[in-house]
Chains A and B, each alone.
Chain A
Amino acid sequence: DAKTTQPNSMESNEEEPVHLPCNHSTISGTDYIHWYRQLPSQGPEYVIHGLTSNVNNRMASLAIAEDRKSSTLILHRATLRDAAVYYCILRDAGGKTSGSRLTFGEGTQLTVNP
């Protein structure tokens, strides 16, 4: 599985934008970039995913570098409820059965200050 690297922790202030970085220098052509987050005592929650182009949804935006070796999850206005562990995951869509699984790393613990 291609590996991702994220900072262990980040802090933000409420109502400010947050940019969560992820490096994935060994990404392959069939790898999608997925982001999940996990709030305390809950299961992970899907946030967004993309392949090459930037993506937007109601939760966040995903900015993907032109060479696809890095990406950034953008929360436009952080709230206290956004405090969670954020996981950046590469998922192979090339057809292998193993591509169905998500391989979670350590993630980034986001703290949002009031």
Chain B
Amino acid sequence: GAGVSQSPRYKVAKRGQDVALRCDPISGHVSLFWYQQALGQGPEFLTYFQNEAQLDKSGLPSDRFFAERPEGSVSTLKIQRTQQEDSAVYLCASSFIRTDGYTFGSGTRLTVV
């Protein structure tokens, strides 16, 4: 497709459950980013990949959060032992080079109950 695709669109998880969120960036885009957006707030940076290399993971809130991009295209954000405070929209974005404007996906809304 022409845009960044994220799945699932919605996810409800029981507290303590592990979840995996998928991002398909635009084909050929080298840079990939994950952001977390709480209700009523602006997005907050989580992590950044250039191809398969994770160059910046300083925004990951705890060691329960893990991201990978093994072949330099599709990326997965995994959250282990989910907590209620993890409830948010998780946004993925990609760009051809890191200084370009980003293209964001529509996000995955995670609700932890």
Contacts and interface: CB of A to CB of B under 8 A. Distances in A.
A102 B102 contact: yes
A101 B91 contact: no
Contacts of B43: 44, 102, 104
A2 to B, nearest CB: 15
Interface residues of A, number: 25
A34 B101 CA distance: 8
A24 to B, nearest CB: 16
A98 B56 contact: yes
A43 B44 contact: no
A104 B56 contact: no
B48 A104 contact: no
A14 to B, nearest CB: 26
Contacts of B4: 43
Interface residues of B, number: 25
The winner among A42, A44, A46, A49 for most chain B CB atoms within 10 A is A44
Contact of A43 (B55, B58, B107): B107
B104 A104 contact: no
Contacts of A46: 101-103
B42 A43 contact: no
A101 B33 contact: yes
Contact of A44 (B31, B48, B59, B104): B104
Interface string B39-60: 0011111001000000110110
Contacts of A97: 48, 55-56
Contacts of B35: 102
A87 B42 contact: yes
Contacts of A54: none
Interface in A73-96: 85, 87, 91, 93
B45 A102 contact: yes
A76 B104 CA distance: 24
9 contacts: A43-B4, A46-B102, A49-B101, A85-B42, A87-B42, A102-B102, A104-B44, A105-B42, A106-B42
Interface of A: 32, 34, 36, 41-46, 49, 85, 87, 91, 93, 97-107
